[in-house]
Amino acid sequence: MWTWFFQLASPPHFYRMAGSLVPWLLWPALLLILIGSWGGLVLAPADYQQGEGYRIIYVHVPSSYLSMMVYVTMAVAAGIGLIWRIKLAHAVAASCAPVGATFTAAALITGMLWGKPMWGTYWQWEPRLTSELILLFLYFGYMSLRSAFNDLNQSDRASAVLALAGVVNVPIIHFSVVWWAGLHQGPSISKIDAPSIAFEMLWPLLVMILGFTLFFLGVLAMRVRGEVLEREFHARWAQDVLRGANRVEAAG
Amino acid sequence: MSEFLAMGGYAKYVWPAFGITAIVLVINLLAARRQLRQTRERLQLRLVRQSGRKVNI
């Protein structure tokens, strides 16, 4: 068990393993997203209050969920990197940010498109929307802080502190609909004992969430490879990989 | 079919929402691929320069 763990954490193994995992994550992700979209757009019945308009849920909820899940992944990885000085963890944290930022933007835009017909406005400075917008700025801040340093180690450590400080925003987003009465509706699936949504509507949503999660992991695996290679540039294995890739490209 | 596309009058909200999300998924794929390729190319260049210097010394 421990040998396996240490092998996994060793950069050359991780680099190779991440590379072979990518297709096993991305193809199932594509399949699940297609099935989920079909289920959500075609098979699920219309909502008795919102008619067909509620179908935005099938892209809005998975995007919003990823926006927060990716941030937590980033903060945990940054924390591990900071405390135990593990480069691989910093590589994971750095790879999360651009992915998280794009899904936060998707959550905000799909939310606005849902808000207009249901609430009568694209935007309102209410708790859920405001805290999600702050999440987007946290991602932007994290990425610009990273790019402010020339030294990769410095940039890893400084940005890790920001990632950890910003993690308080995640529970605020999650509970904002419970703590304050805003426009945004309350949770509909996280109440595990009694979800307030019919099964025909629920399953495509769960399939979409699983598909988005696999998609994130696939993209993360691709990005982490680059980050690991960069941090391990002086290691023998990384230079072997670079030379090998060189030869392949020359031959191609 | 046109009834399906009309989305009960919500077409101009539902389809852009799905479209934007699809674009975000595609952008993520392309950006990750580009990032990996560019990192490799940049490091390969650094490696070549470095070994070149060693030979000169």
Low-confidence residues of chain A, pLDDT below 50?
246, 248-252
pLDDT of res. A198: 85
- Name the phi and psi angles at A86, rounded to 5: -100, 115
pTM: 0.91
Residue A221 one-letter amino acid: A
pLDDT in tens, B46-57: 999 988 766 554
The answer to whether residue B2 neighbours chain A at the CB level (below 8 Å) is no
Q: Using CA coordinates, name the residue in chain B closest to A218.
A: B29
Q: Are A229 and A241 in contact (CB under 8 A)?
A: yes
Give the other-Cβ count within 10 Å of A50's Cβ: 16
Q: Do the Cβ atoms of B24 and A245 come within 8 Å?
A: no
Can you give the length of chain A in residues?
Answer: 252
Question: CB-based contact (8 Å) between A102 and chain B?
Answer: yes
Q: Does B5 touch chain A (CB under 8 A)?
A: no
Q: How many whole angstroms separate alpha carbon A79 and alpha carbon A4?
A: 23
- Model confidence over A160-199: pLDDT tens digits? 999 999 999 999 999 998 888 778 887 776 655 566 788 8
pLDDT at B57: 45
Which tokens hold the place of A198? 């019919």
pLDDT tens for residues B14-27? 999 999 999 999 99
- Contact with chain A for residue B40, Cβ under 8 A: yes
Burial profile A98-118: b = 16 or more Cβ within 10 angstroms, e = fewer:
bbbbbbbbbbbbbbbbbbbbb
The verdict on ipTM greater than 0.85 is yes
pLDDT of residue A251: 42
A51/B10 CB distance under 8 A: yes
Contact A117 B13 (CB under 8 A): yes
The ranges assigned to domains in chain A are 19-237
Alpha-carbon distance B23 to A59, whole Å?
A: 12
* Among A187, A204, A205, A183, CA closest to A196: A187
Spatial contact of A159 and A77, defined as CB atoms under 8 Å apart:
no
Q: Does B49 touch chain A (CB under 8 A)?
A: no
CA B10: distance to chain centroid? 30
Domain locations in chain B?
2-51
Q: According to the model, what pLDDT value does residue A249 have?
A: 45
Using the structure block, give the residue that is written with the tokens 């605020």.
Answer: A172
Cα distance between residue A185 and residue A207, in whole Å: 22
- Cα A22 versus chain centre, distance: 16
Among candidates A26, A102, A225 on the partner chain, residue whose Cβ is nearest the Cβ of B24? A102
